[in-house]
């Protein structure tokens, strides 16, 4: 079975991107959120998060 990446509405803080990534990679959502905060300190992380909000479908 093929995995698909989705933004997950349930338990989201901003757009559900971190929650979807955590479900896709089967890791704790807090680890993903911490990584997003660290990457968010750079301009690249902010751009990547906004792009994921736009490109990744929501369930």
Q: Which pTM value belongs to this model?
A: 0.85
pLDDT at 24: 93
pLDDT of 30 over the 90 cut: yes
Q: Considering the chain, what is the average pLDDT of its residues?
A: 91
Distance in Å from the first CA to the final CA of the chain:
18
Q: Are 16 and 25 in contact (CB under 8 A)?
A: no
């Amino acid at each position: 079975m093929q995995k698909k990446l989705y933004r997950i509405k349930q338990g989201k803080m901003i757009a559900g991107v971190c929650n979807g990534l955590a479900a896709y990679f089967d890791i704790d959502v807090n680890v993903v959120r911490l990584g997003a905060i660290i990457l968010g300190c750079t301009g690249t992380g902010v751009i990547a998060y906004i792009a994921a909000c736009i490109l990744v479908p929501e369930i």
